[in-house]
Amino acid sequence: MKQAILVFLGGGFGSVLRYAISKPLNPLSPNFFLGTFLVNIIGCLLIGFILGLSARGNILSQNSTLFLATGFCGGFTTFSAFAFEKHFLLRNSELLHFSIYLISSITVGVLAVMLGLWLSKLGE
């Protein structure tokens, strides 16, 4: 039960922060959804870093990892908004914006996870 509460609390914090970042930034770039892009990329970087630290064994406890990776990063990032925004761009025949957003989100997201993992190994 304690672990479920940690995930719940982390998810709540992550969701509120996502809202605080996405709400003001998305209207600035209606064909790219900058807020959603940024929270997803930051979340990729964070989860790579958190899971990298967790894998080292003595840095983060299992409960800390659940709170931060599963809870916070799970609440902070948003695949559902990402998918809806792709639908919005397709529905409006924004094929170029759709392609740029899709490819950059996936590519930069994977690179951000790799960077987070690499950063977690500094100082070993």
For 13-80, give the secondary structure using H, E and C: HHHHHHHHHHHHHHHHCCCCCHHHHHHHHHHHHHHHHHHHHHHCCCCCCHHHHHHHHHHHHHHHCCHH
Question: How far is Cα 89 from Cα 43, in angstroms, rounded to an integer?
Answer: 23
The amino acid sitting at 109 is G
Residue with tokens 């948003």: 78
Say whether 48 counts as a known binding-site residue.
Answer: no
**74 annotated ligand-binding residue:** yes
Which residues carry a binding-site annotation? 74, 77
Q: Which residues are annotated as a binding site for Na(+)?
A: 74, 77
